[in-house]
Amino acid sequence: MTRGEHGISREDISANALKVMYRLNGAGFESYLVGGCVRDILMGYEPKDFDVVTNATPEQIKGLFRNCRLIGRRFRLAHIVFGREIIEVATFRGHHQETDESETVPKNKATGSQDAQGQLVRDNVFGSIEEDAERRDFTFNAMYYSVADFTVKDFANGLAAIEKREVALMGDPETRYREDPVRMLRAVRFAVKLSMRIETSTAVPIKSLASLLQNIPPARLFEETLKLFLSGKGEETFLMMREYDLIDQLFPQLAPFLKDENSKEMQFVRHVLANTDERINNEQRVTPAFLYAALLWYPVEEQSQRLQLESGLNAHDAFNIASSEVIAKQTQRIMIPKRFSTVMRDIWILQQRLPKRFGRRAFQLLTHPKFRAGYDFLLARGQTEGGDLLELAQWWTHFQHAESGKQKGMLNALKRADSAGKGAPRKRKRRPVKRDSDA
């Protein structure tokens, strides 16, 4: 497509991305913008990042840029660092070739390999732009913009997919999902993000192949879940993932609680995700710790109750042990960095402490560094479950904003109500004091 046909302008492109492409071209290499940034510009969105592909090898790229670092094991990438902006540059990927019986190495000297399930575990195979396009995952990601002649190369009818509002895999869907099971998550994310539907042949294998996500490193799945749930459309993404049985693979401890669409657990998760979406869309801060605390709250609560019944532990010890066990089990599937798991524990512990408001405890809790997160969590629970939990959350809503005198009045009223509920305290009988004459 020529510039008149696609309408992409250099004004739509990061100045740093342009610098990278100009320097690569000036050194005699090909370079293109590729993937999501091209797709988003064509759809009228502002890209969040700009990816470049080239026929230069990673080492050649590094030789051209002093601000370059090479990353990746499965496939080597170059990151060109411009302050806070990073331009990712990849070498054209090629196809894997089977080794002939008479050969000891593949014909194209590929260093790629797959495991028994067909998943790519090493992918440093370089090729041409045509081969690179065939290796792309979705059709609308196989479009390449050249700053040299201002054309867009559309290798898989990506523009047609955009016009049809379809997320469609390139090649055989089952084979592509086996190569990289994360593509199932990406299919859902793109469908929600771009307000598209997943094309039928792309959608059909997802449920049967969802278990392949168990082969993905937990650290990579943590990054993927952030993209899924912190996109501003987390609730809608969650519902589509549940439709395709993907939640079961990522959060196996949560899955049993979501069987009933109207269960309190399902409503609570949706409530938290909806609130998170609202905050993101209003450009307010969010933390993955709060989201993960919500996703794993009911598994922790259930495990704590089970430990009390089966092991005779007190509520405090059972809750602490349950928290550790649930987090440990979850990190086998999705790695949760300690900086977030520590905050999750704080939020959970505050759920045990916030009902205890007598004396100085209420004032001490207000100074807790994670009070606000714990209170927000309690409020979400109360708005979902209602009853005493909602009354408790409302009490804290008023208490934290009240003046000092009003706060003391609220605590006194709480104390009187508690005394009335237990009945008037009995007066202790004084023991008679013995006198010397009684001895």
- CA-CA distance, 131 to 95, in Å (whole number)? 7
For the question of residue 260 being annotated catalytic, the response is: no
User: Catalytic site residue 248?
Assistant: no
**3-class secondary structure per residue, the chain:** CCHHHHCCCHHHCCHHHHHHHHHHHHCCCCEEEECHHHHHHHCCCCCCCCEEEECCCHHHHHHHCCCEEEECCCCCEEEEEECCEEEEEEECECCCCCCCCCCCCCCCCCEEEECCCCCEEEEECECCHHHHHHHCCEHHHCEEECCCCCCEEECCCHHHHHHHCEECECCCHHHHHHHCCHHHHHHHHHHHHCCCEECHHHHCCHHHHHHHHHHCCHHHHHHHHHHHHCCCCHHHHHHHHHHCCCHHHHCCCCHHHHCCCCCHHHHHHHHHHHHHHHHHHCCCCCCHHHHHHHHCHHHHHHHHHHHHHHHCCCHHHHHHHHHHHHHHHHHCCCCCCHHHHHHHHHHHHHHHHCCCCCCCHHHHHHCCCCHHHHHHHHHHHHHHHCHHHHHHHHHHHHHHHCCHHHHHHHHHHHHHHHHHHHCCCCCCCCCCCCCHHHC
Catalytic residue among 40, 123, 137, 248: 137
CA distance 122 to 112: 5
Which candidate in 12, 49, 245, 376 is catalytic?
A: 49
Task: Say which of 40, 51, 248, 277 is annotated catalytic.
Answer: 51
What is the Cα–Cα distance from 378 to 41, expressed in whole angstroms? 42
Could you confirm whether 137 is annotated as catalytic? yes
Q: To the nearest 10°, report the CA torsion of 262, 267, 270, 276.
A: 170
Residues marked as catalytic: 49, 51, 137
